Structures are given as C-alpha cells and as structure tokens.
Amino acid sequence: MPEKKRKTPAESYDAPDDAATPSVSDPFIGKTFGHCEIIEKISEGGSAYVYRGYNVRFDLDRVIKILKPSLTEEEDFYFRFRQEAQLTARLDHPNILRVFDTGEQDGYFYIEMEYIRGQTLREYIQMNPKLNEREILEITTQVARALDYAHNVEITAPNNEVIHGILHRDLKPENVMLTQGKLVKLMDFGAAKPLNITSNTMQGMIVGTFHYMSPEQLKGEDLDARSDFFSLGIIMYELCTGVKPFAAENLTELIDKITTCKYAKLRSVRPTVTVLTEELIDRLLSKKRDHRPKTTKEIEEIIQISAQRLTAWSEGRRVRVPFSFKRAFPAISALFSTLALALSIYSAFFKSGTPTNATLSSAMKNSGSALSGSTLLGKGKELERRRLWGEAVQVYESVPTVDEGGLANEYLEAQIRLAYISFTYRNQLTKARSILEKLRMEYSDPAIDAYLGKIYMRQSLHIEAKERFETALSSTKGSVIQITDEFKSDLLFDLATSLDKQYIYVDKDPGVLMEAIKAWSYFIEFAGCDSKKSKNCIYAKKRIEELHKIDEQLNRGK
C-alpha cells in the first residue's frame, strides 16, 4: 500500500505572524517522539517548545510540547510539566484542549496534544481590535463552560488520590485557542492546582502571569474558583477594549493596581457596551471575593440576559408570536375544567386555613394550566395582602404564558408582581432583574422600567437607574399595575436620589448637580411637602439645602 502523502507545513498550518520560522538546524525537527514525527516549530514559551507533529499510527496532526532541556533538572518546572500532562489527559470537555500521550525521549520530556487549526485569543484580539459585543459574550461563555467543568470535575490522580475540581491559575488570552469555527479551547494547565489537595511542591511560589492574577493569588493566599473568575474578568475587559485593565510601567505599580482593583470603568473606555456586560466585569474584578459570582452558572445567567437584551435592541421590535390552535387549546379546555379546579382551590384556601406550600404546589400540579390567569392573579393578590410572599410567588409563577393559552396582560402583571416581591421582600435581586429584563424585551410598561430602576439603584448603578426612572415617568402608555399619585411620588423621589448619588459618587459634574436640585424641588412640589412631614419630605428638604450649599461653594470657587 503506497504511503499517504502528508501536507507540507505551509499547506497544513496557518502560522501566526510571530511564530518562529522553521529552521533546518532545529534539533527536534525530523525526530520522533512517541508515535509523532516533528514537522515544524509553532512557538516557544518560557519553559517549553511547541511543535506541530504527525502521528504516524493515526495519520493525524498533533501538537508536541517539549520541556526545554535546560529545565529538565529543575524540579519545579518538571513537576508542573508532568502535572499538566497527568491532569489534562483526564479532562474530557469540548472547550478544553485534549492531551493524548506523554513521555520521555532521549532525555527530553514531551506532551502529545490535540492539534487544531486556529489562533490564540491574543492573536485574535490583535487582528480584531473592535470585537462585536455579542461575539465577546459567546467567547466568554465558552471559557466559562470550560472552567465550570474543570472546577467541578472529579478524577483520580496517578497516585490514586481523588481530585475534586481543578483551578487553572494561568487564565490569559495566550492560553485560549480559537478555532476557525470560533470554538474555544482552553489549554496549558501547567499551573493548575487541585482544589481539594494541598501539595508541598512549589509552596510559597506565585504561579501564573502577573497581569492576569487575582489579588489573593498575588498575596499567596488560598485560592478557589473565584480567582479564575477574576482572570476571566480581565480577559473580558481586554476583549471589550483591546487593553488590559491593570496596566503599569513597573511590577510594583502593577501589583498595587491589582491588589486595590484600580482600573478605568469599562464604559468610560467603550461607552457602547451594555450596562449588564459592564456590571458583570465589575463583579468579576471585585477586590473582595464574596462580591464576585460564586459559580460559572451565575456568570452564564448574566451573559444570557445581556445577549437577549442585545438581540432586542438590534431588532428594535417586540417578538410577535403567530396564532396557533395548539397554543389556544389549553384556554379552550380551561373552560371545561375551571369549575372543578376552583372548588379544589377553594378547599385549599378556605377550608384548611392558610395553604401550605405543599398543598398549593399539589393543587397547581394536578390542575396544569386549567385555572385562568385572572383567578390566579386574584389569589396571588390576596396572598400579597396577607404578606404570604412564598405562597404568592408560587401562584404568580403558575399564571400561564401566551404560549400556554394565557392572556398577555395577566401574564405580564403576574411577572411584574413576582419581580417586585423577589427584590422587595426576598432580597433576590438577580432573579427579579432577570424577570424584568426579559419582560422589557417584549412589553412596554412603565412599571417594568420603574422597578428596574429601583434594582439598579440598589446595585449602585446610578446612571442606569436614572435612565429607567426617566423612561417610566415620561411614558404615556398604560400599565397593568395601578399607577397612583403615591407611586409617581415614590418614583420622583427615586429619580432625585439617583441624580444626587450620580453627582456624589460618579462624576461630580455641576450639570448633574443642578439636575439633582431640580429633581428634589419637583418632588417636594409634587408630594406637597410644604404641608407634609413624611420621612421622604423631611429628607428631600434637608438634601436640597445641602446641595444648594455645594452649588454656592462651587460658584465662589470660580
């Protein structure tokens, strides 16, 4: 059987601009490591050479990573090199570069890895300085999924120790590959550390790349998944802006910036990025670990909301769902089953006193969507009046969607009330915000903007809160929630508060100061504070006096 002709290096590999040029004097080219013949040099790192090889047995291209000969006697480097092979060979995830073999050839230690056509994320950023935000979110999602797998994987090490999760510890654009089909491959686990095993090897060493380390990593503290999340935040920032958030002229300044988390806010560098993306990066780059997302699932949830919001904005329209008899069928069948279900709910509510969660859940489960939305809304409001928040949430969650045969207005009101209970009485800001952000893509209701503004303000997003309050107050559309004068007064108070805090904490702009003074004045007038002594009125009068003094001091200083 004739030998299959292999492609030349030029035909098989799209070499990056800074890749080392293959040289006939290279001592490794032409040699065989394991079952792989070395074809050409791809790159060179601080501790290893990277080559493209050809696996004769499987007729496939491979990547061969060879530890530099000068480091083979260095215990720390050898340990990391061997650990990378042993750990990564046990990982099986589409977003992690696979390892197939490792060994020693003529005194040289090598790793045989998956070969993919593509480029590192560093090269991709350099070639695409203005990445689309949607693409940034997609890349981040894939990296997060790789981390989620690594952080939660359970594997048995060669010494039979069971490892519960692995930290990467060296997450950076150079260690992320992007295929021609935009599939992300996380690689280089040389600095990886099992989450549940403490090793004496390399104790006291700071392992990783300084520009991408977390504050606790720089301090040599114990690490958990949130350290990798910090590094992911740095990559996201760089994808959005093309620059690193922590740039410095020397190592001392760099360490200071990272440990204090001093960096230019994302939207001051790239104003077009959405608020949610900026907020996610701010959370990832929080100085305190407790302020960062706790899991990759939480990161993915925020990314999903950001992506949905981008879709809604780019289309500039609501989602229109065509009529379907299949969707309408539940509503038709509801006409025949409402009576029986109503009797069941009546029994649960009035014969047994206050319903338990189990009773209510059982009734809902057995009833399907047969109970009409209006009936459920009424029960939910009754539970709200009785301050039974958990039971009210269950009822509102059971109001059918349009796809399930429900009415749009009833579903909208139930979701708004569900969000209000979630952030007001249950401190579930992420859940409430997720609900409202999704509603805002399909409905125009001032209550959605009003409640979103309240959530933004609690999260110290003062500019975004102001925008939502202004949208709600200027809306001429009706709402499924009753908009009373008291509701408007409350919104005016919130608007003035957000402008006030924007001036104090964000930009110190005299124009914003004047807006805040006007907003407080309008609230005082609308709420009739001249004849009232409510807590809000007392605060507003005090605050407007303080802002007038600040304005006078600014004018004297001119």
Please list the active-site residues: 170
- Answer left, alpha or beta for residue 292, where phi above 0 means left and psi between -120 and 50 means alpha: beta
Helices (H), 347-372: 357-367
In the chain, how long is the greatest CA-to-CA distance?
101
Residue 272, CB half-sphere, CA atoms under 13 Å: how many? 10
Rounded CA separation 68/53 (Å):
17
3-state secondary structure of 276: helix
**Which 3 state secondary structure label does DSSP give 205?**
coil
Nearest to residue 372, comparing CAs of 416, 333, 346, 326? 333
Q: What is the token pair recorded at 6?
A: 């292999």
**Structural element, H or E, at residue 336:** helix 325-346
Residue where the block lists tokens 């002229």? 249
SS3 at position 185? strand
- CB contact at 8 A, 240 and 131: yes
CA–CA dist 536, 518 (Å, integer): 16
User: Which residue, 417, 409, 410, is CA-closest to 371?
Assistant: 410
| Residue 38 · residue 51 · CB < 8 Å | yes
**Taking the chain, what is the end-to-end CA distance rounded to the nearest angstrom?**
91
* Cα 533 to Cα 50, 204, 324, 439, 547, distances in angstroms: 75, 62, 55, 37, 20
Q: Is the four-CA dihedral 255, 256, 258, 264 of positive or negative sign?
A: negative
Give the residue from 345, 423, 431, 341 showing the smallest Cα distance to 382. Answer: 345
Could you tell me the two tokens for 171?
Answer: 């997450």
What is the rounded distance in angstroms from the CA atom of residue 268 to the CA atom of residue 273? Answer: 10
Contacts of 419 (CB under 8 A, 6+ apart): 431, 432, 433, 435, 436, 439, 451
- In three-state secondary structure terms, 25 is coil
DSSP state of 347: I
Cβ atoms of 332 and 325 closer than 8 Å: no
CA angle 8, 89, 138 (to 5 degrees): 75
Residue 527 dihedral angles phi and psi, to the nearest 5° = -80, -5
DSSP 3-state assignment of 254?
Answer: helix
Length of the chain, in residues: 558
What is the residue whose two structure tokens read 């990832």?
Answer: 284
